[in-house]
Structure 1
Amino acid sequence: MRSAALRFCPVLLLLFANLHLGSAAAVKKRADKSDFLVPDPYSRKCPMGTYLANDSVSCVPCKKDEYTEYPNDFPKCLGCRTCREDQVQVSPCIPTRNTQCACKNGTFCSPDHPCEMCQKCQTRCPKGQVRIAPCTQHSDLQCGPPLDDNSSFSTGVIIVTVLLAVIVVLLLVFCWRICCCRHHGAGDGGELSGKPSAVVGMARRTSNPSVETQKKLVPVPEGDPIALLRRSFNTFVDCVPFPEWKRFGRALDLEENDLYLAEQQDRVSLEPFYHMLNTWLHKQGSKASVNTLLETLSQISLSGVADRIASELIRKGYFQYEVS
């Protein structure tokens, strides 16, 4: 009896080994299937570092020299950027981030403007001035008059005094505008209007709909309208919050493909915004107008930004109010 039991032991061990290997294979198969990426069930977008496959039900990882920085539904990944000859690579391109480039030592490029070419830094300050800040990849050598301890303290006091004065003036203006809004709201029926104001540079409409007091911007005399409009793009890029550029483009009736092509430009230098505005200008042709851009900003609840842009364009001497 005991010898028979011993004969069955190898058989039982063999069956147990087969059962264990089969279970391990099933677990591995399930694990492989769980690693398969699929779009987010709510936004239908793939995670960064992937793109939406042709079947629209799976996300495919980006290949070498490709990337996607945000959740997307792109049909393919974006091509990685190649640093120019006057730049050095700060960090390489990875599936979730584009190549990061910067100007070489001794050169700089202001982050407020498109970095089309790195500029050489000053090697020394003019006579009678001292170095305040060294040259960096984003700014030139900063120079100024020499300051002793007393003058530094006096300058600090003056700066603080000016800042406090500015804050007080802004608070007074803010309170005055609130009082004026309440006064006008009571005259129209005792309620404040919740609608956004008109574009800056345009007066409010009168209570009589047949009478309009809106003022539009026109190019300064002898100025080329298209050239001045293109020159004003810098002001729009500086004033409109960069995260709003896509919403601005859609409000200008640009197609998603136009925004997709613009998005492939260098994000660091705000190139997508410039590319979007140039695409809009190309499509509009002679019908393009700065007033269209300002009115569109007002329509997407950025009337305050539109006001600031209109004032800045008049200050720079590009446009003036239309004389009725």
Structure 2
Amino acid sequence: THVEEHCKEQHGSSKCSPCNKNEYIEYPNDFAKCLGCQICREDQVELSPCQKARNTQCACRNGTFCSPDHPCEMCQKCRPRCAKGEVELAPCTPYRDRRCGLPAGTPSSSSGDTMLIVGVVVSPIILILVSCVLWKYCCQQSAGDRTGVGSKPRTAVDSLVRQLTRCCRGGPGTQDNILNEQLSQDQLPLRASGVETSSSPGPEAKPRNNLVPVPGKDPVNLLQRSFDIFAEVVPSAEWRRYGRALDLLENDIDIAMKNDKGSRESFFQMLKMWHNKKGMNASVNTLLDTLQEMNLAGVAQDVSTRLVKQELFQYEER
């Protein structure tokens, strides 16, 4: 059903009427009219017709599929057959491509890839361990040379280690200088970017002030009146992405955009659909926060300013 006449008394009720033919609404709502039923595309078949409380159910034709994890803009053809040496693991369905793989008991080629990955991961670890051992060995030898304690005749291994590492050349002071230089280099990117390296915390970004409805007016009516301002300020190129960010289904967005496609009315209908789904949990602050999450903070600020200027909402007192 949809609202034919809104309630006029404070404790009255609205007059509702059933949807007409080829119309539906799946959720409790305050729409002035029902939504138009979906018409299956040429590459789809109709699984069940449209009903007053459920939209038309469509699916891809035989030999084609659409993943349920992605918007079904068009059905894709399934793989006609498996490649040579492979067998069919799962058939083609309207929601998944044909799956192929090696027969059971056949050694997988992925084992070689696994060994390669293990080698790539383990080799640096071994290299680090060897470097640590050489470092410790070299420094111990150098300490023995300086103190004269524990010194032993040099062997071929000692000479080779010294040539490979040269880790203690110049004594402990040299190592301290190398460490200090490394620490200094680590600080350069921070200083270049203007980040303070001191322990005192910097100023935090000022959070957006929440809005509350103007006292004495119907909050639901104020929220719906705000949709016109959102439609005016939010760039049309971002409307679909905005709908997805509000957790609307792709089909819901398509239905809203079918009415006066490309106009502000279609965006208005999309927000009404969102309001219809959220019910009492719908809030203008959710719409503004979603814009900020989409890196459209400037748009959110512009909308907030207009809502306050038109006396629909006011900033919440802290």
Normalising by structure 2, report the TM-score: 0.38
User: Larger Rg: 1 or 2?
Assistant: 2
